A and B are shown apart, each in its own frame.
Chain A
Amino acid sequence: MAKNVVFSRLRRLGKNERFDDDLSSSCDSDEVHVLAVDDSFVDRKVIERLLKITSCKVTVVDSGMRALQFLGLDEEQSSVGFDGLKVDLIITDYCMPGMTGYELLKKLKGSSTFREIPVVIMSSENILTRIDRCLEEGAEDFIVKPVKLSDVERLKNYMFGEGRTKSQGRGSNKRKLQETSSSPSPTSSTSPEPSSDLSSISSPSTPRSPTSLDSPSKRYKTSHHD
């Protein structure tokens, strides 16, 4: 099943591989470089800060086209020389004018150079068919907006492939998660938590490492906290 391929690819995408390919002299070997794509000013600022506070290097662009340009994918034939812009994760909004996040995802997965990069989709709408479609197309994860610190911290696990904190509440996403053969996360639990907003607030100004306190059912809330 396609999903297992994605996960095993991820496991191989460990730090060592990144070191070998990394030609950028300014790249801190521990730092993950994330390309964030969102057409909203507000959301760009928030996602940028969320990523920076979790020790990621961030490049933020406002459209799928610009993302492709940044990656050099719009001229794939001559994409030599873009190793310096090594991207470890792409996180994109779904609803964008012009090219949607889904279309961007398809382009990335259709590219031999970039299909290995994990892509995460964000959307303000918790629509299961949309989620399924994105995951089927090869998206690593799907985050329901508004994006929280715990969402971003969880993403780092995907990128390094270590002790992934499994998203416990992803009942509707069995196809993707429960088929993986990744090593069990020490913090995994199996019951979805009810969505709660004011509960999982971490201590200020300290990026915390993902723990079982993360509210994992965020993505699959069927009732928004309105």
Chain B
Amino acid sequence: MEVNQLQRTFLEYTAALFREGFLDSQFTQLYQLQDESNPKFVVEVVSLFFDDSERLINDLTRALDEPIVDFKKIDAHVHQLKGSSSSIGAHRVKNSCLPFRDFCEAQNTDGCLRCLQQVKQEYLLIKNKLEDLFQLEKQIVAAGGSTNLVEWML
């Protein structure tokens, strides 16, 4: 596929992600930190986020499965997830953490379980979308184009 076409698709896809609230401006910030000396910065940070999130979601699943639920521990995990999702601009994941923390405070296991489902769902959604985005980016770069997102978003 021709570079311009790819780039247009990239831009449209990204714009949609912002419009639908999957991403927020912090994601754009990440691209500001990427340059020739650090061309893979965004992919690297997002990978860290994926690893981190998966670990936290596993921990949360286990913790909520305990006979006696440790809400403080769960809250700590959710707080971490909220933090890292916020740091990369994963807006909906971050938002899904907010009611989760409320249910922790209320020591409501069912509420927490529902929130965990929601968090998992949002996480999988953004993971797929970002993977698609990065795939597109790779194709663009391979075809000789550039994806300096920041310029496009202005």
Contacts and interface: CB of A to CB of B under 8 A. Distances in A.
Contacts of A198: 25, 28, 153
A46 B38 contact: no
Interface string A139-178: 0000001111100000000000000000000000000000
A45 interface: yes
Contacts of A204: 31-32, 34-35, 148, 150-151
A41 B48 contact: yes
B2 interface: no
Nearest to B98: A226
Interface residues of B, number: 39
Interface stretch (B84-92, B113-121, B123-131): B84-92
- Residues of B contacting A: mostly: helix
13 contacts: A40-B80, A40-B83, A40-B87, A42-B49, A43-B83, A43-B84, A49-B33, A49-B45, A124-B83, A197-B25, A201-B25, A201-B154, A203-B151
A63 to B, nearest CB: 14
B29 A148 contact: yes
A132 to B, nearest CB: 21
Interface of B: 24-26, 28-36, 38, 41, 44-45, 48-49, 51-52, 76, 79-80, 82-84, 86-89, 91, 94-95, 98, 148, 150-151, 153-154
> Which of B32, B33, B154 neighbours the largest number of chain A CB atoms within 10 Å of its CB?
B32
A43 B29 CA distance: 13
B24 A197 contact: yes
A149 B87 contact: no
Mostly helix, strand, loop or mixed at chain A's interface? Answer: loop
A221 to B, nearest CB: 13
Nearest to A39: B80
A205 B80 contact: no
A201 B153 contact: yes
A97 interface: yes
B84 A201 contact: no
Nearest to B85: A42
B29 A146 contact: yes
B115 to A, nearest CB: 16
Interface string A106-145: 0000000000000000001000000000000000000001
Contacts of B51: 41
Nearest to A202: B32
